[in-house]
Amino acid sequence: MARPGATILDADGLRLTAEEKAFFRDADPFGFILFARNVDAPDQLRALTDEMREAVGRDAPILIDQEGGRVQRIWPPMARKWLPPLDFAEAAGAGAPRAMYLRARLIAEDLRRHGIDTNCAPTLDVARDETHPFLRNRCYGTDPDTVAELGRATARGFLDGGVLPVAKHMPGHGLARADSHHDLPRVGLSLEELSDVDFAPFRALNDLPMGMTAHIVFDRIAPAPATLSPEMIALIREDIGFDGLLMTDDISMKALAGTAAEITRSALAAGVDVVLHCNQPLAERIAVAEAAGEMSAAGWARAERALAQRQPPRPLDMTAVEAELDALSGRGPGDD
């Protein structure tokens, strides 16, 4: 079997257009990602995820950002509403590890019923006083041990629910004072200063199947954003010890300069396995797919190992889980 394209791509609307079906058939992206614009009703969403897999002729992974809080693509009544992770963990107090596990199980349950098998979480960035508001309450804690513990619980909850977790944003975005959707964050700390805090949760969870890079420059380590930096990708592989499938964050974010095709080639040359490209016209998706080509042999081997961790969900007593979660958090999962 030929290796798929080194891309994860999105669709414009609620169903694939004829042009999108033809493009996806030819480009054969490794996977797909969904946004709120792709979600309207249960039958519609299941039909869309089926169409995506039919277009490439295989059980391609379908990703989403369903963190809870502001970053949640599916809302009631199709999925539960959640507090942002940091607020939820603080409300749960000493029960946070169990509460985060149960939360992840329920999120996985919501995703699986719609044909979604990969969630871009846990967010393993360590929240700091200076962390930009776009990220801060998406983090799991303000120290690396807490972030690692709650990140592990969340990842186990997803995996037990039949959903692959994606650790983000490697090697750590917590010191960013800028929103990488609009600007390029820069961090001036040394490797030694970063290693025991920002990089530590990723090191503790370096066995997760998938990871996502950060569009952030660590000035005292490398001159380019981590997504485009051979030095930073080597650090993720060697120092952090991550040998899972490594994808970029969305390359259309304003933190990265250049055309989409140029960024694609630079990211793959730096050592990432697959490029995530979102929210742009079909012509740009075509250019990205052409620039990416097929996955490398090493990337496809990592992808196959990651996909092998997709398992049927473990049995779940939904009533008991929701009651336990209410008791742990002091509120229902849908409360603000």
Please, are residues 107 and 83 in contact by the beta-carbon 8 Å criterion? no
Residue with tokens 């080509």: 293
Chain-centroid distance of CA 161 in Å reads: 16
Chain-centroid distance of CA 47 in Å reads: 23
Q: Output the CA angle 44-287-298, nearest 5 degrees.
A: 85
Joined tokens for residue 143: 């120290």
Active-site residue 249, yes or no?
A: yes
H helix or E strand, kind and range, residue 9: strand 5-9
The residue annotated as part of the active site, out of 40, 181, 239, 243, is 181
Active-site residue 215, yes or no?
A: no
Joined tokens for residue 281: 């016209």
**Dihedral of the CA atoms 312, 314, 318, 321 (nearest 10)?**
-140
H helix or E strand, kind and range, residue 119: strand 118-119
Q: What share of the chain is helix, strand, coil (3-state, %, to 5)?
A: 45, 15, 45
Residues 6+ apart with CB under 8 A from 50: 115
Buried (b) or exposed (e) across 42-69, using 16+ Cβ within 10 A? eeebeebbebbbebbeeebbbbbbbbbe
DSSP assignment letter at 237: I
Distance CA 248, CA 224 (A): 14
The residue annotated as part of the active site, out of 28, 117, 198, 249, is 249
Where helices occur in 119-256 by DSSP H, the ranges are 144-160, 191-195, 200-204, 230-234
Active site residues: 181, 249
